[in-house]
Amino acid sequence: MKKFLIPLLLSLYLIQLTLLFPVVEGTYAFLLVPAFFLVASIIFALLNIGSAVFIVAKHIDNFQNVRDTNRRVLAFKLLAIPFYVINLLIWVFMTGISVVMPGNIFFLMFGIPIGIGYAFLVLLSSSTYSIAILVSLRKNNEITRGKFVLHLVCQLIFVLDVIDQLVLTMRIRRITAKLAQESQGSEIGGGMGQ
């Protein structure tokens, strides 16, 4: 997981740097995004989604794996907040240029949906891990079906995914405390019977 999330985050910010510098200089070169960074970030996003599916299938039954995965996903989501803010500003700026400059209807028709789709792919690449956590929590009856669906929907909506991840983190901390307390109680009870 870590080997995919870090390169994804780096490639996202490299794309934004290549978009932002020409905008600051006042040229229109920002329309020529280096394809390498774009393709690399899409590949890393798809690898993240595949890795999350693998985690659901193999590793997330152990609650320690749930805690570790949650920590990494929360860190990724928090570190990606500037990406989403800058991404939004870039697309608003480009939309404004497209409205003002005649002949840019092509960008309005195709550029904006592509930008939103790209941002959603990035969202999905981290939310799949959160969904893996939710599946594990549901499988172990730590959350109800209704809460599972609510968390699932929140993980697929911008901004709500970060808030929901914070809520999941608090829930996982409570579960961890409960498991530690039960473990201590069983050790104390097991020692008294001897």
pTM of the model: 0.76
The CA distance from 148 to 168, in Å, is 11
> Per-residue pLDDT for 29 more than 70?
no
Confidence class for position 55, pLDDT limits 50, 70, 90: low
Within 10 Å of residue 141's Cβ, how many Cβ atoms?
Answer: 7
The CA distance from 19 to 28, in Å, is 10
> Per-residue pLDDT for 59 more than 70?
no
Q: For the stretch 163-182, what's the b/e string if a residue is b when 16 or more beta carbons lie within 10 angstroms of its beta carbon?
A: ebbeebbebbeebeeeeeee
pLDDT given for residue 135 in this prediction = 87
Mean per-residue pLDDT of the chain? 77
Domain boundaries, the chain: 2-178
Tens digit of each residue's pLDDT (9 = 90 or more) over 114-168: 778 878 888 888 888 898 889 888 988 899 999 999 999 999 999 999 999 999 9
